[in-house]
Structure 1
Amino acid sequence: MNKFKYEIKKHIGIISTSSDEKVATEVNIISYNDAPEKVDIRSWNKETGRMYKGIALTYSEAQTLKDLLSNLEEN
């Protein structure tokens, strides 16, 4: 069985942090299993480094998401 591995290539920023500051939702550029880099949005446990569920997008998908969100209006 292949071992799962990842490498954070670049930390982009933090979207939010839990009230106890143990978990942060971050945007990073990550390579999974030596595959091409993706834009990754997910929560991380700051104490253990454990990753939680998230989403990994190609650069094209991230650009589409950016375009969609630019039209988002707060109700």
Structure 2
Amino acid sequence: MPIVYSEKEASLQEVVTIQEVDDLLEWLLANTDASIDLAECRHLHLAALQTLASARRKVSAWPQDEAFKGWIKPLLTTGE
């Protein structure tokens, strides 16, 4: 399962494809104070990245892959 949801956090794991975007958006809208854990994520479909960027959520853990982290961190940093 590419995304594991709880009330307080969504943990994106391995490869998140376009098929997960609708559920991710629905979860983000229903859990407005929740954060995102990207520690185990290796790839995000652009639609998933855009969904996360527009949600402006706190990222509780960044990807372990430094190159991937360097690419997405500026796009997902909320300034908090």
TM-score, scaled relative to structure 2: 0.20
More helix by share: 2
Give the structure with higher Rg (CA): 1
More strand by share: 1
Q: Which has the higher contact order (CA 8 A, sep 6+)?
A: 2
